Amino acid sequence: MYFKQITTPGLGCFSYVIGCPGAREMVVVDPKRDIQDYLDISREMGMKIVHVIDTHVHADHVSGAQELRSRTGCDIMVYETSPVSYEFTPLKEGMKLEIGNAGLEVLHTPGHTPDALSLLVTDFSRGNEPWMILTGDVLFVGDIGRPDLVGDAKLDEQVTNLYNSLYVKLAKYPDHLEVFPAHGAGSLCGRGMSSKPSSTLGFERRYNPMLGFDSFEDFHLAMSQNFPERPKSFTHIISTNANGAPLLERCPIDLAMEPDRFEERMLDGAVVVDVRDTAAYAGYHIPGSLNIGFDPGLANWVGMVVEPSADLLLVVENKDDYDRMRTELHRIGYDNIYGYLMGGIQAWVYSGRPVDRLSIDSAQDVQNCLDHDKPVSLVDIRTPGETADGIIPGAKIIPLNDILSGKFDLPEDGHHIIYCATGYRSNIAASYLQQHGFWNVRTLAGGYVAWTRAGYAVEK
């Protein structure tokens, strides 16, 4: 049996290839939208892609199932009651597939979504009992799937489903069964996933806090609160996956734009995303642009800030950066990417067009303001878990998600210094505030980490 886990950095997504070189066939499970990795494996191993299986209708990334069917002619398989509008082969509870020495058995494991499934995997060359289970989004390493994405109306039903899937259905399988989930650290489909890519049922039963409740009532209480903020992109991604994602060949043609054309698109309403690092953006940037720099979690932050239907323009250092950014955006269903600024920000500057700057204060600058009672508005945009360990004296806590949702009360003409942990998120918030008329917003270089390392934090 051939088995390979493929990681999508940033989104925390795992997909899988299961096959048999002897039978010259393979199955792809939960594919990412850019499918070259699977095509390469197919070619290198001499295995034809015969099936692609999605364990559920994903909310955080666009499935590559349609791309694979278009390129290889394979069929798409999902659970029989999945709310999809495209043609598919229905999978049912207990159904078994054999690919040479590899065997797959379908388990209906609702909870993250009502139509989610898991796959028991057997390598018949080693034995006749399952070796591993692909759990989709029902069970992660160190966590479980969040049940709230289908809406508050079905939350109680989903919590019950999740409990039954984890505490009843999976309970009958042995401790040594290896667990391979659809997500790991970085995903927003759970709350506390480990960075480890796999586990065993036994280890999770012992150390996963979500599998250790003594009663359904305790489990229900824990699963009814404190979920990560739902990005703007999730509803769009669910709809895209349910309807069948458009093929990437239908997306706008790559276009390197001169400043004149770039500005025309801006005036037509396109959103400008500048992916340079925080210091480069601060030096000068296009007025009204958003700074969301390259980072392992970039796709999640774009999903928080930008509407999925928006027309996008990118400011990048070079064509390679544009290609990387385009791939990241396509993975989460942002397809209206109309091009990038040819020559980068320098071309804009040399064209004589206006630029904005984002002032950056050092930890010493901020401490000097505090020492001399200078009027300053410090805004801590970290999560409650982060701020519980301490804040800069006098800072107002407004989590980034509240900034992006407009849930804050700050005067537009105030001298606001925004800070996060290291400076990445503060640039997102500051560029967003600049876009909305806050002309005197600044950031703290290095964030709270720099503040503490400068020796200003008060010991608890």
Tokens of 346: 């320098």
Distance CA 247, CA 35 (A): 11
| C-beta neighbour count of 266 within 10 angstroms | 17
Task: Assess whether 98 and 146 both reside in one domain.
Answer: yes
Please give the chain's pLDDT, 460 residues, in tens. Answer: 999 999 998 788 999 999 999 999 999 999 999 999 999 999 999 999 999 999 999 999 999 999 999 999 999 999 999 999 999 999 999 999 999 999 999 999 999 999 999 999 999 999 999 999 999 999 999 999 988 877 777 889 999 999 999 999 999 999 999 999 999 877 777 677 788 999 999 999 999 999 999 999 999 998 877 777 778 889 999 999 999 999 988 776 668 999 999 999 999 999 999 999 999 999 999 999 999 988 777 888 898 899 999 999 999 998 899 998 999 999 999 999 999 999 999 999 999 999 999 999 999 999 998 888 888 899 999 988 899 889 999 999 999 989 988 889 999 888 899 999 999 999 999 999 999 999 889 999 999 999 999 998 865 4
Report the number of distinct structural domains present in the chain.
Answer: 3
Task: Assess whether 339 and 381 both reside in one domain.
Answer: no
Tokens of 26: 């393979």
In sequence order, the 6+-apart residues with CB closer than 8 A to the CB of 300 are: 10, 11, 60, 186, 188, 231
CB 418 within 8 A of CB 443: yes
State in Å, rounded, how far the first CA of the chain is from the last one.
55
Distance CA 202, CA 170 (A): 11
Q: Is residue 238 part of a domain?
A: no
Q: Is residue 337 part of a domain?
A: yes
Q: Which helix (H) or strand (E) holds 65?
A: helix 65-72
Q: Is residue 425 part of a domain?
A: yes
Strand order in the sheet with 312-315: 256-257, 337-341, 312-315, 271-274, 290-291
Which residues are bridge partners to 19 per DSSP?
2, 26
- Longest pairwise C-alpha distance within the chain: 76
Q: What is the CATH number of the domain that holds 382?
A: 3.40.250.10
Distance CA 397, CA 178 (A): 42
In 207-309, beta strands by DSSP E: 256-257, 271-274, 290-291
User: What pLDDT shows up at residue 405?
Assistant: 85
Phi-psi sector, 333: left (phi>0), alpha (psi -120 to 50), beta: left
Task: Assess whether 367 and 331 both reside in one domain.
Answer: no
Q: Is residue 458 part of a domain?
A: no
Domain that holds residue 433: 359-453
Task: Please tell me what DSSP assigns to residue 148.
Answer: -
Task: Assess whether 132 and 260 both reside in one domain.
Answer: no
Give the chain's radius of gyration (CA, Å): 24
Q: Is residue 172 part of a domain?
A: yes
Task: Assess whether 59 and 178 both reside in one domain.
Answer: yes
Q: Is 13 a residue of the active site?
A: no
Task: Assess whether 219 and 299 both reside in one domain.
Answer: no
Residue 144's closest CA among 62, 242, 231, 219?
219
Task: Assess whether 268 and 395 both reside in one domain.
Answer: no
β-strands 117-123, 132-136: how paired?
Answer: antiparallel
Q: What is the CATH number of the domain that holds 154?
A: 3.60.15.10
Query: Which of 350, 384, 406 represents a domain boundary (last residue)?
Result: 350
User: What pLDDT shows up at residue 384?
Assistant: 87
Task: Assess whether 303 and 376 both reside in one domain.
Answer: no
Q: Which among 20, 74, 189, 420 is annotated as catalytic?
A: 420
CB 111 within 8 A of CB 138: yes
Task: Assess whether 335 and 391 both reside in one domain.
Answer: no
Distance CA 303, CA 322 (A): 18
Distance CA 343, CA 426 (A): 27
Q: Is residue 245 part of a domain?
A: no
The residue type found at 258 is: E
Measured torsion, CA atoms of residues 89, 93, 94, 100, in degrees rounded to the nearest 10: 30
Three-class DSSP category at 265: helix
User: What pLDDT shows up at residue 193?
Assistant: 79
Query: Which of 316, 350, 384 represents a domain boundary (last residue)?
Result: 350
Query: Which of 200, 233, 266 represents a domain boundary (last residue)?
Result: 233
Distance CA 186, CA 231 (A): 13
Q: Is residue 239 part of a domain?
A: no
Tokens of 156: 């109680």
Task: Assess whether 89 and 190 both reside in one domain.
Answer: yes
Task: Assess whether 384 and 339 both reside in one domain.
Answer: no
User: What pLDDT shows up at residue 249?
Assistant: 80
User: What pLDDT shows up at residue 108?
Assistant: 98
Distance CA 447, CA 390 (A): 13
Task: Assess whether 145 and 177 both reside in one domain.
Answer: yes
Measured torsion, CA atoms of residues 306, 443, 341, 35, in degrees rounded to the nearest 10: -50
Task: Please tell me what DSSP assigns to residue 6.
Answer: E
Backbone angles phi, psi at 403, to 5 degrees: -60, -50
CB 291 within 8 A of CB 428: yes
In 189-303, beta strands by DSSP E: 199-200, 256-257, 271-274, 290-291
Tokens of 350: 């040399």
Residue 298's closest CA among 453, 427, 127?
427
β-strands 13-20, 2-8: how paired?
Answer: antiparallel
Q: Is residue 442 part of a domain?
A: yes
